[in-house]
A and B are shown apart, each in its own frame.
Chain A
Amino acid sequence: MSLRGLCLGAALLLIVVAVAIPAAEPGAMRFGNVTGVEHVAFVRASVPGGLVGPAHQCAPGDRRDTRACVAPDGAIWMPDSLDGVVYRIKDGQARIVAGCGLKGFRDGPADRAMFDFGVGSYCDCEANADAAGNVYVSDMMNNRLRRILQKPDGAWWVETVSGGPGKGRTPKKGEWIPASELRFGGAARFAVAADGTIYYAQYDGIYMVRNGQGTRLATAEELKEALGPKRSFNDWHVGGSHITPDGVFYWMPGGQEIFRFDTRTGQAEVVAGEGPKQTDMATPRESGFHTVLAVYSPDASLIYTGGGDENTPRRIHQGTVKHVQKDGTFKATKEGDRDNWHLDAVVALGPEGRLYVFPGSYAWSGWLVRVNFAKE
């Protein structure tokens, strides 16, 4: 076969492979109407210490006030703030992977570890995963960020990534200090990059933790200069953070405005939320939010908000903001519209664009449901 023939054959083979293999996960992201909501895990039945087994029958101590994440293997991880444990839902089964059921602090074997996520009427605890499948949880009452990992021998382990006893200290911009000395504070919101680098916005700026060292990427003064003087930048307690693969950090302090900070250039700007609260306007910047959660697609081209005072999930996509309606469509409205779907707190966005929600976070919560979307 000639070189030309070989190249032609290879090209044909590539075309055949490209047609046969489904698009990669990010390409599978769906932006159509809601086709239905399904029960994923947990029932409304408080069982101190938690009851595992079939995911549809899993009965934890409490199911409020927490975020979830979807790990690369498709497992859903979710902390339970009441018992200080972390659940893993996979293949229709729920198990407690980390936490012995008592609130406190203890690193080591995962089933003997202790956490204290705190509780509250807002979603105080966050979970995120890196590309290797390590899961990170914000352990707010212990002033630490914790990592749940599986060792080569299969044992699950919990270790502290950032923070430590006491209040810690704040590095100057560009100064690296041991992460164990870092002032993690009540930073319930944080973002994890694929390589495990952690980003969060806290008192006095934006921070990064990598390989046991922490630094400050931007000061509050710099952020005020770029974003405006009368704003709070602390993404704790409410909101939601995210880091894109190309290094743009998003955060939503106070659940009202979404900002972004380019870690490569040091530039910050407002993304959304300068308008009247809970109202969809012509653009994201002109719209207003009063929520407690935000979740992002990997490249942040798709953002969902919801929970707290905003009962209805909202989608920020292609320059618009819309509320989900009871019939599954999306429409620009304001909170309180009787056709809005009070689906409530968005806690995670799966790699295929399916949304995980806690309906009724303030009141009759208990279930984790998954929202499925049609193609556009």
Chain B
Amino acid sequence: MRKRCPALFAALIGLVGAAPAEAPGDMNLTPPAAVAVECARDGASIQKQPAACFGKNVYLVAWSDGSRMLGKETADIYAARVEAGTGKALDPKGIVVCRAANLQDRPAVAFDGSNFLVAWQDLRGGADYDIYAARVAPDGRVLDPDSFPVVKRAGNQAWPAVAFAGGQYVVVWMDAREYPVYGLYFARVTPDGKVLDGDGLALDIEDPARIAKARPAGPTWLGDKYYWWQHLASRTTPAIASDGKRCLVAYMREYPFAECGRPAVTARLLDPGDPKAGEPVKVTGGPSPAWTGKGWALGGPVWKEGWTPTPMLGAGYLPEGVSLAPASQPRAKAENPSATIDVVAAFGGGYNVGKGSTASFPSAAAFNGKHTLVAMHYAWRPKQGQGPVFAILLARVETDNALKVLDAQPLVAATATNPAAVNAPALAPGPGGECLLVYEDDAETAKCRVAAQIVRP
């Protein structure tokens, strides 16, 4: 299922810049296949928010499975293995990782050399989200069938990201403990499932003194306080990559509008052995990080700002040490380079994201040993009045030398026309330069399955 946009090739060459010195050749994709085709409950198969990681000849794909209907929530954490090299689905019925009450969703996966750790956000108490996790062996056994809390405290702890570095898992999440903003916290988890930082350590949070200064004395306020939260900034939606010893956490950071700031991708290098070291830096590129062997790539949607921002598929690059300007200055501009493709031009249709607005285009990045592979969800309306077309786009980016998008036109790995859809891509680097691409293949109201394709350079 590959589609190209030849009519726009010439235009895109101009956008990308000079042709690469070394032609990258075509990407090769295996046909899409459901990772758990026999996994169904109550006559429906609803698999959402996939995540994947490679370890010991198999990829482990985890997802949130079931209904999100208010009052009838059944969304649980399931997983399935995919054989490296062939892409063969090894667990067509799926592996139950956690079937607690209420909602379990947004799983993340990492591998420690022996086992996988799956972490997710969990609304089992019904009041707020906590972060739970369970280990899964490469043979598919769930080693923690009751799962365990990584952090469980009042308020939301959500959107986990996990990597393995320095001999420990690092789980990062967004946390609402400091009203009225979200900050980022993390905890280290040993390979045998012991949480070392039960309440979490701060990764990037709003200054409590700043919150205290802005906040009204009581629960209500009058006009002298206006919209007092405009001086405060949340940190949200972390993603993480590991070089084996350290992690790069990339996330969105609000910058107070009162100080002329706008939300921006921000990153912090995290050393599990020295968790206080490192400082957030404002970066360009997308929100999905990957370790390239020499530095860090940041792939995904890059918004060309303006009254009507334009979505671009692109990537930025950070050197190994990540020593750019700190993010603490609201007006500080990112200093790292980036390269982009204008996807609106590539597909001949905008998304009508609106004046001053951006859209949610989930993304992923992985290094295949030679290039950084960037995946991005995109949607557009071919004609006014028609339903949108959805696509999973792939592009390779040269990141270690001159930063360059190598594919003059993005490869369409999967596409669907409304009311069907494709969404939520995730990438996992595997052996021999291959990567596993997984995404939601949303065919109809009762069928939304996680599909997988192996991408070979």
A residues contacting B by CB (< 8 A) are 34-39, 43-49, 51-54, 56-57, 59, 61-62, 64-65, 81-83, 88, 93, 95-97, 100-106, 108-114, 116, 118-121, 141-143, 154-156, 165-167, 324-328, 341-344, 359-360, 363-364, 366-367, 372
Contacts and interface: CB of A to CB of B under 8 A. Distances in A.
Nearest to A122: B355
Given A37-B221, A56-B179, A47 B237 contact: yes
Contacts of A116: 388
B258 A111 contact: no
* In the complex, the 3 A-B pairs of residues with the closest C-beta atoms, listed nearest first: A36-B220, A326-B223, A119-B354
B27 interface: no
Given A44-B229, A105-B387, A118-B352, A95 B70 contact: yes
B217 to A, nearest CB: 11
Interface string B126-162: 0111000000000000000000000000011011000
B310 interface: no
B237 A156 contact: no
A155 B390 CA distance: 28
B329 interface: no
B385 A166 contact: yes
Interface of B: 46, 67-72, 123, 127-129, 155-156, 158-159, 174, 176, 179-182, 218-224, 226-227, 229-230, 232, 234, 236-237, 252, 254, 256-258, 263, 351-357, 359-360, 362, 379, 385, 387-388, 390, 418-419, 421, 423, 442, 445-446, 448
Contact of B127 (A53, A105, A110, A167): A53
B236 A45 contact: yes
Given A47-B236, A93-B127, 5 more contacts: A37-B221, A45-B234, A51-B159, A154-B72, A343-B223
A121 B418 contact: no
Contact of B156 (A57, A109, A120, A324): A57
Contacts of B360: 48-49, 61, 82-83, 101
Contacts of A95: 70
25 contacts: A36-B221, A44-B232, A47-B159, A47-B174, A49-B360, A51-B129, A51-B158, A51-B159, A53-B156, A57-B176, A64-B357, A93-B127, A95-B70, A102-B379, A104-B419, A111-B68, A119-B353, A119-B357, A165-B385, A325-B223, A327-B223, A360-B257, A364-B229, A364-B257, A364-B258
Given A44-B234, A51-B156, A109 B70 contact: no
Nearest to A62: B357
Contacts of A46: 236, 252, 263
Nearest to B71: A154
B387 A359 contact: no
Contacts of B67: 109, 111
A81 B387 CA distance: 16
B254 A44 contact: yes
Contacts of B355: 119-121
B33 to A, nearest CB: 22
Contacts of B176: 43, 53-54, 57
B155 A54 contact: yes
A142 B219 CA distance: 40
A372 B223 contact: no
Contacts of A111: 67-70
Contacts, number: 193
A43 B180 contact: yes
B103 to A, nearest CB: 8
B419 A35 contact: no
A49 to B, nearest CB: 7
A102 B379 CA distance: 9
Contact of A48 (B237, B357, B445): B237
B179 A106 contact: no
A141 B353 CA distance: 12
A97 B352 CA distance: 24
A53 B423 contact: no
B354 A341 contact: no
Nearest to A124: B354
A17 B176 CA distance: 46
A142 B388 CA distance: 10
Contacts of A344: 227
Given A53-B129, A64-B357, A106-B418, A35 B226 contact: no
B142 to A, nearest CB: 26
B369 to A, nearest CB: 30
A82 B68 contact: no
B386 to A, nearest CB: 9
A45 B238 CA distance: 13
Contacts of A114: 418-419, 421
B70 A121 contact: no
Contacts of A62: 357
A107 B258 CA distance: 41
Contact of A35 (B155, B220, B257): B220
Given A48-B362, A372-B220, A141 B230 contact: no
Nearest to A153: B72
A154 B387 CA distance: 30
Contacts of A34: 222
A363 B388 CA distance: 28
A80 to B, nearest CB: 10
Contact of B123 (A37, A48, A53): A53
Contact of B226 (A36, A88, A359): A359
Contact of A342 (B123, B226, B388, B423): B226
Given A328-B222, A364-B230, A54 B127 contact: yes
A45 B71 CA distance: 26
Contacts of B127: 53-54, 93
A52 B126 CA distance: 11
A35 B223 CA distance: 10
A154 B69 CA distance: 10
A343 B227 CA distance: 8
A166 to B, nearest CB: 7
A121 B356 contact: yes
